[in-house]
Amino acid sequence: MTRHEEGGVMFPATDAMSRLPGLTSVSPSLLEDIFNQLPEAVVVADKDRYVVYVNPATQRLFGYDQSDLAGQRTAIFYADPHDFDDQGERRYNPSAESGMDNYRMSYRCADGTVFLAHTCGGVIRDPSGETCGYIALVRPARPAEKSIDTLQRLHAISANPNMDSDARIDAILALGARHFGLPVAIQSRIDGEVYVVEHCVSPDDGLSPGAGFELPGTYCVHTLKANRPIGFHHTAHSEIHNHPCYLNFGLESYIGSPIQVEGRVYGTLNFSSPDPCRPFSQDDLIFMQLLADTVGHEIHERQMRDRLSALARTDELTGLANRRAITEVLEWQVAHSRRSGLPLCVLSLDLDYFKRINDTWGHAAGDKVLRAFAAILLGSRREVDRCGRFGGEEFIVVLPDTGLSGGRAVARRLRDTMAVTPLSVSDGESVTVTLSAGLAELGPDDTLESLLHRVDAALYEAKNGGRDRLCVAGE
């Protein structure tokens, strides 16, 4: 390897640029003199993408010396190893089209610093058209270019139909960390005086979702107090140098913003580092607000989908699981019982003479009775039991890890409670309602359908047998 005075570095293992036939029409020394004067970093590689030549601007920009680059492929410059492979498929391969392409790329310096750069690169071919190497000119992106690149990436994340809200929030955190050059990224939820980590990027895996901290011990307490984006680029020299977060974690730089969801503070989005950084500009604070607003939108969308999903599985009148939801629960419990060998019972309940209530006091009174019975049902069940309204005045109770004796006890307790509990039907008027019940235990040959058929037949038998009784399938 040789260094020309005030010049770039060439590597004799590849016989430098003189070994690239595509450059022989121009004196290699003249090319080197030209490249040495350029303010852009110039990297020349052979057809296997091993570094052949770098100019002084490359050494200044990336911070590598001669020994660092000797025998290295150009992968050493990329911030993300996947980008090296991707660029090899797109541009730096023998099949690539001739000419130079302009694109933006993230690179990593020798000290680990990541930066965005405008790159112009392409294939070097010899006079016969054969690929003999590659060349790239790299210039650090100006702030405006960096912002445009980040906005394009943010749009791509938000518009990606293959990502759910959680995946998009994770991607936004990674994007913000890259944009600000701060390795720690957190999306938090504020629960009173507790700061709960919901999503995070942490290079040493020192943080994980679900971690909680006292809110006053975080920098975000200042963000929430200001109710706007704020930043500290060198905490040791700031007014919060005595803050517990600095004393305990040594975070020198921080930028954060409140997250608003439906007009209320939900939590914070923030990025930080144990190292100082450049002072934050007004554009940084505006972009921080944009990221927080985007994350807030994702959280709102997730909440709305969760609510719609819950509504689709909930009986509107009683608040119990609806027919679809309780059937899915029973299907899962049947499979679990088969795997575990534990017993499983299903209890079907029907309010006796319910039609008389509707006919006498009206459907509003009937609705009140159904809601009151649902409350009794929820108050009488075990934590593992699941209740649902199957339709009309018929209800289902799924009893995991329960045999027939336990199922009988549950039915008896419900019938006894109903017998002594007046249910309001109008102002000053109440009635007591009895229950007919069918009980079935999962048998070795049962399917979900056959189990439901047997418990339904047992309920039918109880109703035809005079009501106010329990009938057990198979007895």
Main-chain phi, psi angles of 122, to 5 degrees: 180, -165
**Distance, CA of 433 to CA of 424 (rounded, Å):** 11
User: Measured on CA atoms in the order 294, 299, 304, 306, is the torsion positive or negative?
Assistant: positive
Q: What is the pLDDT of residues 223-236, one digit of tens each?
A: 999 999 999 999 99
Task: Quote the pLDDT of residue 256.
Answer: 96
Burial of 67 (0-12, 13-18, 19+ CB in 10 A): exposed
DSSP count for the chain of H helices, then E strands: 14, 20
pLDDT at 185 over 90: yes
Average pLDDT over residues 201-219: 90
**Distance, CA of 227 to CA of 260 (rounded, Å):** 10
**Distance, CA of 409 to CA of 405 (rounded, Å):** 6
Average pLDDT over residues 283-305: 92
Average pLDDT over residues 191-205: 91
pLDDT at 125 over 60: yes
Task: Quote the pLDDT of residue 30.
Answer: 76
Task: Supply 246's token pair.
Answer: 């600095």
The answer to whether the beta carbons of residues 111 and 63 sit under 8 Å apart is yes
pLDDT band at 14; cut points 50, 70, 90: very low
pLDDT at 82 over 70: yes
Task: Quote the pLDDT of residue 306.
Answer: 85
Average pLDDT over residues 20-48: 77
Main-chain phi, psi angles of 430, to 5 degrees: -140, 160
Average pLDDT over residues 317-326: 92
Task: Quote the pLDDT of residue 305.
Answer: 87
**Distance, CA of 349 to CA of 416 (rounded, Å):** 14
pLDDT band at 66; cut points 50, 70, 90: confident
**Distance, CA of 270 to CA of 232 (rounded, Å):** 11
DSSP H or E stretch at residue 66: helix 66-69
**Distance, CA of 229 to CA of 27 (rounded, Å):** 55
**Distance, CA of 302 to CA of 304 (rounded, Å):** 5
Task: Quote the pLDDT of residue 205.
Answer: 79
Q: How many residues does the chain have?
A: 475
CA 329 from chain center: how many Å? 26
Q: What is the pLDDT of residues 386-401, one digit of tens each?
A: 999 998 999 999 999 9
**Distance, CA of 42 to CA of 133 (rounded, Å):** 13
Task: Supply 265's token pair.
Answer: 């503070």
Q: Which strands sit side by side in the sheet containing 131-140, from one edge to the other?
A: 2-3, 9-10, 51-54, 41-46, 131-140, 114-125, 100-108
| pLDDT averaged over every residue in the chain | 89
Average pLDDT over residues 146-167: 89
Q: What share of the chain is helix, strand, coil (3-state, %, to 5)?
A: 45, 25, 30
- DSSP three-state, residue 68: helix
Contacts of 48 (CB under 8 A, 6+ apart): 73
Contacts of 110 (CB under 8 A, 6+ apart): 62, 63, 64, 68
pLDDT band at 34; cut points 50, 70, 90: confident
**Distance, CA of 378 to CA of 314 (rounded, Å):** 14
Give me the amino acid identity at 131.
T
- DSSP three-state, residue 281: coil
pLDDT at 8 over 70: no
Task: Quote the pLDDT of residue 2.
Answer: 43
pLDDT at 445 over 60: yes
Give me the amino acid identity at 250.
G
Average pLDDT over residues 310-336: 91
User: Measured on CA atoms in the order 270, 272, 276, 278, is the torsion positive or negative?
Assistant: negative
pLDDT band at 15; cut points 50, 70, 90: very low
Average pLDDT over residues 427-435: 90
pLDDT band at 311; cut points 50, 70, 90: confident
- Residue 326: CB atoms within 10 Å: 23
- DSSP three-state, residue 233: coil
Does the reported pTM lie above 0.85? no
Per the DSSP assignment, residues forming a β-bridge with 440 are 346
The answer to whether the beta carbons of residues 438 and 347 sit under 8 Å apart is yes
- DSSP three-state, residue 436: strand
